[in-house]
Structure 1
Amino acid sequence: MKLPRSHGSRIYLLHLLAVAAGLVLIGTGPWRAGVVLIGASFIAAAAARTVIPLDHTGMLRVRGKLFDVVWMGFLGVSLVVLALVVPS
């Protein structure tokens, strides 16, 4: 398998793998751990988007940098807070 050339595309693929692993955790029982993993991967992708240069963002770039960082950060923090606040 050939890896993508841009750093952002590699990070995006890692993000997708983390989301897939989180969905497997949700489906097999420990749903809190799965939701936290998905949220943490969004937070990590948002942090990566802030430091990767524009010509290396690849698939990680959806809109402008500010939009991407705010939206992925909001989703990540919301999912982590949701997993911790919902009673079992």
Structure 2
Amino acid sequence: MVRAVVANAGYVAVVAVLATGMVLVGLEYWRRGLFVFGAGTGFAAVLRAFLPERRQGLLRVRSRWFDVTVLALAAVAILVVSWGISPLDT
């Protein structure tokens, strides 16, 4: 049981950050929520790139380079969208 928790600690941290971003979006803090979501996706890319295989847990889906590339590109795209959204009160 402890091994499973340790192996998936990075995944749990990423899910917590992504959930926080979704809550912010749900509370109508669009820019902050998308920024947190993009940062969480970037965090997943960093963890996938640097964690040893035994600690990656559910972050490991395909090959390391593919996962890191797709996560990093998704993070950049989400962050660009978050910076491009104008505040809703204008």
CA distance in 2, matches of 1:58, 1:47: 14
SS at match of 2:26: helix
1:55 aligns with 2:54: yes
The percent of aligned pairs where both chains have the same amino acid is: 29
**Unaligned runs of at least 5 residues, structure 1:** none
CA distance in 2, matches of 1:57, 1:20: 19
Letter in 2 for 1:35: L
Q: CA deviation at 1:85?
A: 1.4
CA distance in 2, matches of 1:76, 1:69: 10
**Unaligned runs of at least 5 residues, structure 2:** none
Runs of 4+ in 1 over 2 A off after TM superposition: none
Q: Which residue of 2 aligns with 1:5?
A: 6
Letter in 2 for 1:4: V
Letter in 2 for 1:33: R
Q: TM-score, normalised by structure 2?
A: 0.86
Contact 2:31 2:85 in 1 (8 A): no
Residue deviations 1:45-86, cap 9 Å, x none? 101111111222111101000011001111111101001113
Q: TM-score, normalised by structure 1?
A: 0.88
CA distance in 2, matches of 1:87, 1:31: 9
